[in-house]
Structure 1
Amino acid sequence: MSKLAQLREKRNAAAKKAHDLNNKYPADQRMPAAEAAQLDSFLAEVEAIDAEIAREQRIAQVAGENPEAQHDAALQAAYRGGVRDADESAALRAMLSGGLSALSAEQRSAMNARVNHDIRAAMSTTTGSEGGYTVATEFNKTLIQAMKAAFSVRSVASGIQTSTGAQMLFPTADSTQEEGEIVGQSAGAGSGDTGFGQASMDVYKYSSKSIALPFELIQDSMFNIEAYIQSLLQLRLGRIQNRHHTVGTGTAQPRGIVTASGAGKVGATGQTGTVTYDDLVDLEHSVDPYYRATAKWMMHDDSLKVLRKLKDGNGRPIFVPGYEQGNPGGAPDRLMGREIIINQHMPVMAANAKSILFGDFSKYLIRDVMDLTLFRMTDSKYTEKGQVGFLAFQRSGANMVDVGGAIKYYQNSAT
């Protein structure tokens, strides 16, 4: 068992003790001093273990920030032995390794026989060995799932896939203040026209930047070229999209969830790097109860570090660490009883920073157009170096499609 796995098991045990003890008493009841001290010790133990985990993860992150290390990590993950590919995966591997001409007779026959299904639907070209091939459907689904797991906004937002990149306009209306009336016998009903607006869902073309592989690796039967390329695409496309999904300006890029949200609470003077328990209560109640039913918190990990030290009016911590085992399936970290989403593209606490989000994140919509497209390049730029190039494009957009204030932010004070 790795050191990181051991630390996580140790954290799970301490976090479950804290969780069980915290749930022993109702939220409006003060916990006895002895048990409150015991809870503090459990939380201190979790915090110390988290610091160790963070150091281990930081080591891996530092390696990941180096482009060469990213390639090394992807290469290590891509090597495999004795695993047979599914038909679609085998066809994809053949195309990636040698182009369309590398497909076997059976694979070519399957393409001709199943025009709009499987391989034919997944791979087509009109530009020869330097042209583009649409990635197999199953490969694309796996990639999107990987980005959802690794990048925060996709994991909680809603998503749609469209067959074209044409502009989409969503009608909007704020009906939160609308209500009916009582009318007398034979009296006329009053008028109450609703004001409608539009939210645009434009798409943008994202590039993975080119990936160059030496011939030797492509020819190596022990090298899983699909896994390698998928890993690099996950890192490159996922990171830039999550950044835009979080803080995108809406001009020549998607409008991010922070940009689209409304103000829920602004910190008092002096709170440039802090937040109080009362601020969080005000932020929570700035969101209409309709949206609070499924609401979550979203913040940078550095902001969570600040919140872990806060306690409510009964002296109980507002942060309760989650654990991975039991319950069944474990329990997520919770703040004031609600799930926390860690997003490393969220602004950290600083003057005027919109550092904490609260609300129903399903009202943020991500739109992907058709399938991700992968190009295999064998022109002189690569051939002279003994390489084959790969480049992926994905058309995607995102925007808030709600005007009722489903998500609000906490903003640190200016001074």
Structure 2
Amino acid sequence: MKTNRVMLAKAAALALAAKPAPRGIVSGVRADGSNVAQMVQQLQQAFAAFKDEHTRQLTELKAGINDPLQAGKVEKINETIADLQAAIDASNTKMAAMEMGISSGGRQIKDKEYSDAFQAHMRRGDVQAALNKGVAEDGGYTSPVEWDRTVTDKLVIVSPMRALCSVQPVSGTGYEKLVNKRGTTSGWVGEEDARTETETSKLAKQGYSWGEIYANPSATQQMLDDSEIDIEQWLAGEVDVEFAYQEGKAFVSGDGTKKPRGLLTYAAGGSNLHPLGGIEVVASGAAGSITGDALLDLVYALPETFTGNAKFAMNRNTMLRIRKLKDSDGNYLWQPSMQAGQPSTLAGYAIADIPDMPGVAANALSIAFGDFKRAYKILDRVGVRVLRDPYTKKPYVMFYTTKRVGGGLENPECMKFMRIAAA
């Protein structure tokens, strides 16, 4: 279905452009980074077609003509742009991961003896001497260092919040941070005036909510005995998808019960706020919608000291809406990627596509803007544990894999939200 929709959008974009875009505006999309430059060029051509058709639509509306066909053309090109931008963003993420050395291909194993024993344990359940260093009373085994790192590195690629926010490994779940609530005062005095005591800054503790995330993939014993595949790679692939799905929701909107507390739960006006208060909320400017002026208000609500690394975060459907917005001079606030390795921008700032952000609806916090690395911290309890279970679901062997994860707000001053106005 998605392929059909993409191809229809492609055809619409090609037909509508003043100059036909090259063949393969979407069909050539690949997420391996080898075709990014071509996709960027196609994206810019599609956006030019979008601006032409959207301007024509606005002109007709001002003249009292509401043509559903024209509106449909604009929406189809808009969806085409979204598909191209998503493919470019995926390629950019993978290229960045390769530059950081995240790719596990050809890696040097730090503890080959333990890794070989871990493989044997997953295939046959053998407990070898080398594996005893990972044994735990509950029967679980700490995974090899390189396997643990592979899972974590893949999560950076799959989970947008891990890529945006700061991540800190810790050795326990008792992590707390002291927060300076400020309050120091001063005064002017003459040479011989008395110096009365002034107010002193106060300190407060900021705690972080924790939870245990798990995956439980399985395979038959015969598959494990006979397969030539890399069992570690297979299991890591199963784990990173499940972990990323669960983490993504928790880091955005988790309630802190058996899971991290999400970024959106710290909005001003809520309960159990950060010691420095909640994150300021800016109104969207229109009931059930977003205005260009409101987006600029959101940008300028963030103190200048935090704008250097600031980014927008929203879901795909919200992006479709904001792509039509203009500033007071008639310039589109959204701009496509100009070259490989760079994201699209909104009012000059990069945009992150986070599926778990709420859509545009009354009272929803649909857009976040700020320095994510200084605003939200993700905590990883060091080590992944795997429990091999050949008994519960014969003839399948299940690999119960767990990891403890925490998260919470670091500084509310580094982030702003936009709330969609109600009718």
TM-score, normalising length: structure 2: 0.71
SS at 1:245 equivalent: helix
Q: Of 260, 265, 289, which residue of structure 1 is paired with 2:266?
A: 260
Structure 2 partner of 1:355: 366
Alignment of 1:113-128 (within 5 A): 123-125=134-136
Structure 2 residue aligned with 1:96: 122
SS at match of 1:356: strand
Q: Deviations over 1:14-43 (max 9, x none)?
A: 346799x9xxxxxxxxxxxxxx869989x9
* TM-fit CA distance, 1:319: 1.0
User: Cα offset for 1:377?
Assistant: 1.0
Report the RMSD for the aligned CA atoms in angstroms. Answer: 3.5
Output the CA distance in 1 between the equivalents of 2:304 and 2:185: 17
1:401 maps to which residue?
A: 410
- Cα contact 1:172–1:199 (8 A) shared by 2: yes
Which residue of the partner structure matches residue 377 of structure 1? Answer: 389
**Whole-angstrom distance in 1 between the partners of 2:309 and 2:371:** 6
1:254 alignment partner AA: P
1:250 corresponds in structure 2 to 256
**In structure 2, what is the equivalent of residue 271 of structure 1?**
287
Q: Does 1:4 align with 2:29?
A: yes
Alpha carbons of 1:10 and 1:46: their partners in 2 closer, same or farther (altered >3 Å)? Answer: farther
Letter in 1 for 2:144: A
Counterpart of 1:229 in structure 2 is 235
Say which structure, 1 or 2, has more relative contact order (CA 8 Å, 6+ apart). 1
Alpha carbons 2:209, 2:407 under 8 Å: kept? yes
* Cα distance in 2, alignment partners of residues 391 and 371 from structure 1: 14
5+ residue gaps, structure 2, are 1-23, 57-73, 89-105, 268-278
The alpha-carbon distance between structure 1 residues 48 and 251, as it changes in their structure 2 partners (threshold 3 A), is: closer
Any residues of structure 2 matched to 1:12-411 within 5 Å, and which?
12-15=40-43, 47=78, 49-50=80-81, 86=109, 87=112, 89-101=115-127, 108=129, 111=130, 123-125=134-136, 131-165=139-173, 167-175=174-182, 181-187=187-193, 188=195, 191-208=198-215, 210-261=216-267, 262-268=279-285, 270-272=286-288, 274-322=289-337, 325=340, 330-362=341-373, 363-379=375-391, 381-382=392-393, 385-403=394-412, 405-411=413-419
Amino acid at match of 2:301: S
Structure-2 separation of matches of 1:97 and 1:139: 16
Check 1:312–1:211 CA distance in 2 against 1; reply closer, same or farther (3 A cut): same
Q: Give the whole-Å Cα distance in 1 for the aligned partners of 2:221 and 2:265.
A: 45
Quote how far apart the aligned CAs of 1:56 are: 9.7
C-alpha change, 1:251 and 1:214, in structure 2 (3 Å) is closer
* CA shift in 2, pair 1:288/1:137, >3 Å: same
Q: How many Å separate the matches in 1 of 2:165 and 2:83?
A: 31
Check whether the contact 1:183–1:189 (CA below 8 A) recurs between aligned residues: no
Q: What 5-or-longer segments of structure 1 have no aligned partner?
A: 22-35, 58-82, 112-118
> 1:87-146 deviations in whole A, cap 9, x for unaligned?
365443222112234x5xxxx5xx3xxxxxxx765x33556xxx2111111111111111
How many Å apart are 1:391 and its aligned residue? 0.6
Distance 1:246 1:394 in 2: 19
Partner of 1:72: none
State the Cα distance separating 1:308 from its structure 2 match. Answer: 0.9
Q: Take 2:385 and 2:179, find their aligned partners in 1: how far apart are those partners?
A: 33
SS of the equivalent of 1:100 reads coil
The amino acid that maps onto 1:50 is I
SS at match of 1:203: strand
Amino acid at match of 1:157: C
1:4 offset after TM fit, Å? Answer: 2.9
For 2:302 and 2:186, the matched residues in 1 are separated by 23
Q: Is the 8 A contact 1:322 1:333 kept in 2?
A: yes
Cα deviations across residues 367-410 of structure 1 (Å, max 9, x unaligned)? Answer: 1112011111122x23xx3221111111111000224x211100
> Amino acid of the residue matched to residue 331 of structure 2?
R
Conserved? CA contact 2:385–2:402, under 8 Å? yes
How far apart are residue 151 of structure 1 and its match?
0.9
Query: Is this contact kept in 2: 1:168–1:202, CA < 8 A?
Result: no
Q: In 2 relative to 1, CA 202–46 (structure 1 residues): closer, same or farther, beyond 3 Å? A: same
What displacement does 1:225 show? 1.5
Count of matched residue positions in the alignment of Structure 1 and Structure 2:
343
| 1:357 Cα deviation from its structure 2 partner | 0.3
Corresponding position of 1:64: none
How far apart are 1:315 and its partner, in Å? 1.5
Taking structure 1 as the reference length, what is the TM-score of the superposition? 0.73
